[in-house]
C-alpha cells in the first residue's frame, strides 16, 4: 500500500522541523468511506528530547488513536475526537509514540454524530467513546499498535465501515460548499458566495454551523492563512514572496490585513516566520 504524498504540508508550522523528527504518512481510506473522510494520517516518533509541534488546523473533525508512551507500560493507547480548533494547535511529543488519525472532510462528520451540530465539538477534544461507544482502549490498541501500516489502515477501515452513517443530503451540500471555498480563490465575501449558491447569508451560516462547525467567513480566512503559510515556507526565506501581490491574490484589501491575520493566527508576522525557518 503506497502512502499518499506528504508534500502537502498545508497548515503545519515549520514542516521541515516536524518531518525531521517524526515519520509522517497519509493513506486513503476504503472507497466507501471517502464520501465523508478525506484521509488517514499516521505519525510515529522516537525522540531523544521533547518537541512541540504546531498546526494551523483545517476546518475538519479528527478521530485519533494515540499511543503516547509506546516505551512505557503505564501509557496505554486511547482514542480522542477533536473538533475544529479555532486557534493554533500545539502538541508536545516525548519519548516514543504514534498517532493514527482519520480526518473527516469539512462537513463530513455530522452524519456519524447526528445528535449535535458540529459546532458542539468546535474547540473541544473529548474521549472518542463519547461519540463512538465502541472506541474503547481495546479498539485503540487494535488500531495503533500494529507495526505495519497496512494493518493499521485495515483496522481503521473496519472500525469506520461498521459505523456507516445514513445518507444526509445536507452533509453532501455542506461538503460541496466547503470544498468550493477551499479551492476557489475568488470566494472572498460570504454574502456574494451565498447568493451565487442560491442561499441567503443566514442559511449558509446555519448550514456551516450545523455541518462544518465554523462560519463560512472563518473558513475563507483559514484557507487564506494556509496558503500564506505555505508560500512563506516555500518562498519567503529567499525573500521571493511579493506580500502585497499575495494579499491581493487571496482577496485581502491590502498587505496589512494579511499580516494582521497571519500574526493573529501563527503568532508572528509572515516575514519573521519565513526568516526563522
In order of start, what are the domains of the chain with their CATH numbers? 12-161 (2.60.40), 217-276 (1.10.10.60)
- Residue 80, C-alpha cell as written in the block: 480522542
Separation between Cα atoms, residue 169 and residue 172, nearest integer Å: 5
Rounded to two decimals, the pTM is 0.92
Separation between Cα atoms, residue 24 and residue 195, nearest integer Å: 40
Q: State residue 2's pLDDT score.
A: 44
Q: State residue 236's pLDDT score.
A: 61
Q: State residue 9's pLDDT score.
A: 82
Phi, psi (deg, nearest 5) at residue 121 = -100, -10
Q: State residue 275's pLDDT score.
A: 78
> How many alpha carbons fall within 13 Å on the CB side of residue 57?
24
Separation between Cα atoms, residue 258 and residue 254, nearest integer Å: 7
Find residue 55's DSSP bridge partners: 12, 89
Q: State residue 238's pLDDT score.
A: 58
Separation between Cα atoms, residue 154 and residue 152, nearest integer Å: 5
Tell me the three state secondary structure of residue 36.
coil
Written as tens digits, the pLDDT of the chain (277 aa) is 544 445 678 899 999 899 999 999 999 999 999 999 999 999 999 999 999 999 999 999 999 999 987 667 778 999 999 999 998 999 999 999 999 999 999 999 999 999 999 999 999 999 999 999 999 999 999 999 999 999 999 999 999 999 999 999 999 999 999 999 999 988 989 999 999 999 999 999 999 999 999 999 999 999 999 999 888 877 766 567 888 898 998 888 889 999 999 999 999 988 888 877 7
CB distance 262 to 272 below 8 Å: no
State how far Cα 20 lies from the chain centre: 20
Q: State residue 271's pLDDT score.
A: 83
Q: How many CB atoms lie within 10 A of CB 86?
A: 15
> How many alpha carbons fall within 13 Å on the CB side of residue 118?
32
CB distance 176 to 49 below 8 Å: no
- Residue 52, C-alpha cell as written in the block: 512541540
Amino acid at each position: 500500500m503506497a502512502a499518499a504524498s506528504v508534500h502537502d504540508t498545508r497548515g503545519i508550522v515549520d514542516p521541515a522541523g516536524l518531518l525531521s523528527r517524526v515519520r509522517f504518512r497519509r493513506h486513503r481510506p476504503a472507497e466507501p468511506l471517502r464520501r465523508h473522510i478525506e484521509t488517514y494520517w499516521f505519525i510515529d516518533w522516537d525522540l531523544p528530547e521533547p518537541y512541540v509541534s504546531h498546526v494551523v488546523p483545517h476546518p475538519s473533525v479528527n478521530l485519533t488513536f494515540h499511543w503516547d508512551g509506546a516505551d512505557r507500560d503505564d501509557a496505554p493507547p486511547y482514542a480522542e475526537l477533536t473538533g475544529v480548533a479555532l486557534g493554533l494547535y500545539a502538541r508536545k511529543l516525548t519519548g516514543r509514540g504514534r498517532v493514527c488519525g482519520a480526518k473527516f472532510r469539512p462537513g463530513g462528520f455530522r452524519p456519524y454524530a447526528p445528535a449535535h451540530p458540529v459546532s458542539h465539538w468546535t474547540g473541544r477534544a473529548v474521549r472518542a467513546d463519547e461519540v463512538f461507544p465502541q472506541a474503547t482502549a481495546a479498539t485503540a490498541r487494535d488500531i495503533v499498535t500494529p507495526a505495519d501500516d497496512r494493518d493499521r489502515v485495515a483496522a481503521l477501515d473496519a472500525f469506520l465501515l461498521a459505523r456507516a452513517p445514513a445518507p444526509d443530503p445536507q452533509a453532501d451540500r455542506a461538503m460541496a460548499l466547503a470544498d468550493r471555498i477551499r479551492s476557489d480563490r475568488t470566494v472572498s465575501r460570504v454574502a456574494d458566495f451565498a447568493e451565487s449558491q442560491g442561499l441567503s447569508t443566514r442559511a449558509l451560516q446555519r448550514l456551516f454551523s450545523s455541518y462544518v462547525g465554523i462560519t463560512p467567513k472563518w473558513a475563507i480566512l483559514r484557507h487564506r492563512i494556509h496558503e500564506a503559510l505555505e508560500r512563506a515556507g516555500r518562498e519567503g526565506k529567499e525573500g521571493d514572496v511579493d506580500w502585497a501581490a499575495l494579499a491581493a491574490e487571496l482577496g485581502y484589501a491590502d498587505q496589512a490585513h494579511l499580516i494582521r491575520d497571519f500574526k493573529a493566527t501563527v503568532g508572528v508576522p509572515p516575514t519573521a516566520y519565513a526568516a526563522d525557518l
